Chains A and B, each alone.
Chain A
């Protein structure tokens, strides 16, 4: 008899449980198949007969019980010789239906790993305790970041091979969380296990009493299905306009935000506006019982109150928070084609439903994520990543990834195949918006930029530290200021509260005033950057959109640093006694207590102050600035003293 297609551990039958897709990645031979075998067994998916035959096969080879034989044999059944593409394995945890996507570990099949990982809500990154972090570990980690997989658990396997030594585990934990943290990726948990011997898979290990975190199964059970983002601005890319009868129906899927009957909307890049007249669905509901609004993730079919010509590729939004009509994009890309990506390469860029001819007009960085090396390259080879600029043949609607992850990413088609993809880091050029004409001419400085660099030994830059109150922003900023100054540089600490006592004394805390406060901060930072300062801004800045606007104002050399610590810890620190007041109800709308903090989706740097001490955090920022070419002399030490 032939094989069941996907190994169904327990029949995954109850559709009333959340379905979570998890990709399992990591270096070849770090124990993926053994872990999968263990998980299947311990969730009740393997019959006693099968177990007995495994025991026999192992004994015949004179080996102790070998879990990976299970998967190998299943794989042979399942794959019938095709082991190059993604397989899917189904089983259940106490509260989830899990689809485990087993992505190929071999570098040659990276396109299949990407296809598998892009379907995932979460990832398990596997590392061999004896071998540590290897090139494919880093490459897969980097790709998880580019693919937008936000939930990551790291599993350090084969702990038995290092005698369950805590020190060995901590070294790997520090290395991988630092690497992923630099990519802005937060590791939920790092779990020491021995998949072969069963430690830490579904049962806590007795041999690692120093570890108090969850087992692999508990970690899987904690993952959430990725949901469409409701809370950010509306984006509805148009898939098609249907004319089945005399109505023109605009169809698409709401990527983010929400839409209601009567809303005023604008289409980008055309800039046409209309109001939503009806929401169409089938089967046709009774009069008055149809939907009056639509949410992120839902298919949409609407009619408008006026006859305007819109077409596939345009993006519908609200007039206040519309995407840019972009002409040139800076994109952090991965590349899969045999032919390298070079300046002058012509591609098709696909962003949501739009499709446009794009020319590579600049290549800034080339990184081989396997070897952690960034170099000034002129071409991006297969399986490398890099930052490029794409000049588009006509404007399309786009957002920076930090503002909207769904309309801030592109797929690149080359030679008729999808050959790469990436995140929009910034909009370099946009279609000129109509500006008010004024008789104003900017006056140039008499001192050339090079002269300033020669004196201060750094370029102008803006370091924007964002995070909860008490996360450690001001402490890091102050230390940076001290060190830069001591080295003869020109650091300037820009503090929102201080400005509010003077320049911004006319502003309150209404939405409009906050936005204006933000704009002025951005403009001042940009001005000082232009004069060669390293501007350090420590501001809670909880709004992702507001930070994106500052990024836009400042332009080049803007570094968003997310200073992060768990809320409980910030509250415990409470340097200004603000949390206590917020808890007592004396302060309303306090970020973290009764107002949300929107964590950056793609910061230049993530510093977790619960894991890293002050010197370590400061070293990270200096390394970031050195790598970006802001600091002429690289920081001497990036050693992380971990708390």
Chain B
């Protein structure tokens, strides 16, 4: 077996272990589907973990501002993969904290939409596709990350986590974030997508010298200069680029702490 395959197999095994732990230990689990490359890999991993089934609801907290290609993808594959899809809307921008910078304020809608959905369904665990290599505060995350009653993240008081023993005890009404692909890199995601033949939204591939590295709301997500038209091109590009993955996500860059403020309040 090649080193590349072995590395992907180990990542996959760890993710499957985490998904099975979440399903075994928590009562009401949902998987957050943002329709991007990472959460598509996550659904694929869930189907491996549960032998073709996704035994919990798949939640899309919809800002209403995604790209059309993303909605098409969702509608097609939710049926093809036999998912128990729940689509829930986000509250309007006017209800968001006006002191936040514009794009950050726009992104905050998702946090509020998530809170409403949590209340509505009573989920005690949300499986989310964040990765340590994406962004500074995500690097400090635990695999099982307990949230406060308001969905907030207390970064200073995170419990120890080791030997795949995860903290799953929660106060009544609080929930847990579960991060099965925390240990993957952007490159691993693409290498695995290629190996497994996982479907990809075409926006990731270059058209007219530009492509999206990361997908979010249409008005606060921007493409990067690129000629990568296939997964192989993307793998090559990642080998040489010094541009960070989330450089096209406006809310990360408005102020030094804008993204941290979002995350502490419960953003992904």
Contacts and interface: CB of A to CB of B under 8 A. Distances in A.
B7 A15 contact: yes
A418 B50 contact: no
Nearest to B3: A16
A184 B259 CA distance: 45
Interface in A345-379: 350, 353
Nearest to B144: A418
Interface in A264-299: 280-284, 297-299
A416 interface: yes
Given A11-B240, A115-B160, A242 B51 contact: yes
B173 interface: no
Contacts of B55: 244
A409 B163 contact: yes
A6 B259 CA distance: 15
Contact of B7 (A18, A90, A115, A282): A18
B21 interface: yes
A2 B159 CA distance: 27
Interface in B117-154: 132-140, 142
B62 to A, nearest CB: 26
B4 interface: yes
B32 to A, nearest CB: 20
Contacts of A147: 162
B80 interface: no
Interface residues of B, number: 65
A160 interface: no
A5 B134 contact: yes
B255 to A, nearest CB: 8
A14 B257 CA distance: 32
Q: Count chain A CB atoms within 10 A of each CB in B3, B51, B238 and give the residue with the most.
A: B51
Given A5-B133, A18-B7, A111 B159 contact: yes
B51 A1 contact: no
A409 B2 CA distance: 32
Given A5-B134, A6-B133, A239-B20, A418 B52 contact: no
A353 B163 CA distance: 11
Contacts of B9: 298
B169 interface: yes
Interface string A3-24: 1111010011111111100000
Contacts of A409: 163
Interface string B155-174: 11011111101010110000
Given A6-B139, A17-B3, A78-B136, A299 B49 contact: yes
A15 B51 contact: no
A15 B8 contact: yes
Contacts of A18: 3, 7
Given A239-B17, A418-B167, A114 B160 contact: yes
Contacts of A90: 133
B79 interface: no
A167 B268 CA distance: 53
A598 interface: no
Contacts of A86: 139-140
A15 B169 CA distance: 36
Given A78-B136, A299-B16, A84 B162 contact: no
B87 interface: no
Q: Count chain B CB atoms within 10 A of each CB in A2, A77, A297 and give the residue with the most.
A: A2
Nearest to B13: A299
Interface stretch (B70-78, B184-192, B203-211, B215-223): B184-192
Contacts of A301: 51
Contacts of B167: 413, 416-418
A4 B8 CA distance: 24
Contacts of B185: 12
B136 A240 contact: no
Contacts of A47: 242
A2 B253 contact: yes
B227 interface: no
A253 B160 contact: no
A239 B166 CA distance: 13
B82 to A, nearest CB: 12
Interface string A76-112: 0111111011111010000000000000000000011
Interface string B87-101: 000000000000000
B51 A282 contact: yes
A84 B156 CA distance: 7
Given A1-B253, A114-B160, A240-B23, A413 B169 contact: yes
A176 interface: no
B66 interface: no
A421 interface: yes
Given A80-B256, A82-B155, A421 B17 contact: no
Ranked 5 nearest A-B pairs via Cβ: A118-B162, A13-B239, A416-B169, A411-B165, A111-B160
23 contacts: A5-B132, A5-B135, A11-B241, A13-B238, A15-B7, A15-B187, A19-B7, A80-B260, A81-B257, A85-B155, A115-B160, A118-B161, A240-B24, A242-B50, A249-B51, A253-B13, A253-B16, A281-B48, A282-B52, A299-B17, A409-B163, A416-B170, A419-B159
Interface of B: 2-4, 7-10, 12-13, 16-17, 20-21, 23-24, 47-53, 55, 132-140, 142, 155-156, 158-163, 165, 167, 169-170, 183, 185, 187-188, 191, 235, 238-242, 244, 247, 252-253, 256-260
Interface of A: 1-6, 8, 11-19, 47, 77-82, 84-88, 90, 111-112, 114-115, 118-119, 147, 225, 239-240, 242, 244, 249, 251-253, 280-284, 297-299, 301, 312, 336, 350, 353, 409, 411, 413, 416-419, 421
